[in-house]
Structure 1
């Protein structure tokens, strides 16, 4: 076999049907609404007949559902998402630790991990507050703008942050308070490291103040996580923010110590 043959084989997709199926699921996830067969075929750059075959296979596996308006993600995707989160001990213990906390049991608390330059939300504790913000499970926010993302970035040194985001990184203006440059982000990360918790002062959602802390992995190979709470800006007094931050730090301490977590359940 020649070097040219090796290069040709390396450049070929070893499983094009799998790749196309994954892309189809991504398109449905990004759309957040049912898509017709024509819309899916256009997005994938495939013939409608090929797209229909993919949909049939994915429907049989419950990865997609056929609705009157078109195709949407199926229940199996939710099951797999839950299984992904549940493989980490900390996520399994997270709900009990929140319920045992006098502060956090009434708050909307989320768990996120770093996925590229985004904070990806993988678990959510629904507290007694009526607050509902736009970060359902599986959604993401730019790490530079969200409290959970900054808590994750604060575990890296500045050189690693620049390497991850890029030396000329500029961030979208999600609100009028959003930082736009690396220098602005570095200032916020420096304050987060000093305090031990990160703050999002209406920088990812107008009207929402975020507070978050980093959560070290429980077992070797576990990802770096972060715990965060969203507070309505009108209720985000300095006292409440510091109280929530302290409760998150206590929860993070429990969730990095299996014996403490077990005691919290008892």
Structure 2
């Protein structure tokens, strides 16, 4: 048996194959096109096509005719922008970690979640270690709330009107009104902070040349360190300085 095919998921393979059929010469394809290329009946592609439609990777343009959906574009740009941002921010976050001996992270917003895309982990035993790829609800973390501050009141209301915020215990905001009040308060002070699981994080925005927040960074340490007011202020000031430095060279 060929080990390379032992773990192949046929439906996933067919879904990816469908997406790969689109190119500059084939911007719109039909279910018949999919079936011919996959060498199956049109009915066999139905559930795969519906899944891609529901997830936004395909867009229906006519009966049984499709083009690539918005998720293809947004994910592609998000990857390219995120990679460039990591390359720029990493040296600054590594330096901040070395100067403070406290772990630092970089995150971007993906819907209602903050997505961790870089980590500069401190070597101390009590350091905070958030794995890359971690997703946290924006309203429950310091970096997440920094990322929400970019949204208008209308956008924020639209995004959270159906969300049950009190699923997460206090001190996280329990209502949309509480969340808006906290976002305004943290925006005015220039940083966000959050305490959970015996650790405290302070977060600041990364802005492009237009002043738009494109990411957030944090400095996150154990309460044994961060509960000291003097150490908290030193960490906060160094974080804000680092955020400003990254913002000056951040991608658009």
What residue in structure 1 maps to residue 222 of structure 2?
232
Tell whether the 8 Å contact from 2:101 to 2:122 is kept in structure 1 after alignment: yes
The CA deviation at 1:208 is: 1.8
1:177 to 168, 171, 191: 171
Over the residues paired in the alignment, what is the CA RMSD in angstroms?
3.7
The CA deviation at 1:253 is: 1.2
TM-score, with structure 1 as normaliser: 0.58
The CA deviation at 1:123 is: 0.6
Unaligned 5+ segments in structure 2 are 1-11, 20-75
Measure the CA separation in 2 of the matches of 1:137 and 1:243: 26
TM-score, with structure 2 as normaliser: 0.60
Tell whether the 8 Å contact from 1:147 to 1:211 is kept in structure 2 after alignment: yes
How many residues are treated as equivalent by the alignment? 184
Tell whether the 8 Å contact from 1:199 to 1:212 is kept in structure 2 after alignment: yes
The CA deviation at 1:94 is: 2.1
* 1:59-138 equivalence runs, <5 A: 87-88=83-84, 90-101=85-96, 104-131=99-126, 133=128, 135-138=130-133
What residue in structure 2 maps to residue 18 of structure 1?
15
Measure the CA separation in 2 of the matches of 1:241 and 1:155: 25
Distance of aligned partners of 1:154 and 1:239 in 2 relative to their CA distance in 1, 3 Å threshold = farther
Distance of aligned partners of 1:92 and 1:190 in 2 relative to their CA distance in 1, 3 Å threshold = same
Tell whether the 8 Å contact from 1:148 to 1:212 is kept in structure 2 after alignment: yes
Distance of aligned partners of 1:16 and 1:184 in 2 relative to their CA distance in 1, 3 Å threshold = same
Say which SS state the counterpart of residue 140 (structure 2) adopts. coil
What residue in structure 2 maps to residue 74 of structure 1?
none
Distance of aligned partners of 1:234 and 1:100 in 2 relative to their CA distance in 1, 3 Å threshold = closer
Measure the CA separation in 1 of the matches of 2:131 and 2:173: 23
More strand by share: 2
Distance of aligned partners of 1:117 and 1:235 in 2 relative to their CA distance in 1, 3 Å threshold = same
Say which SS state the counterpart of residue 144 (structure 1) adopts. helix
Tell whether the 8 Å contact from 1:97 to 1:251 is kept in structure 2 after alignment: yes
| Structure with larger Rg | 2
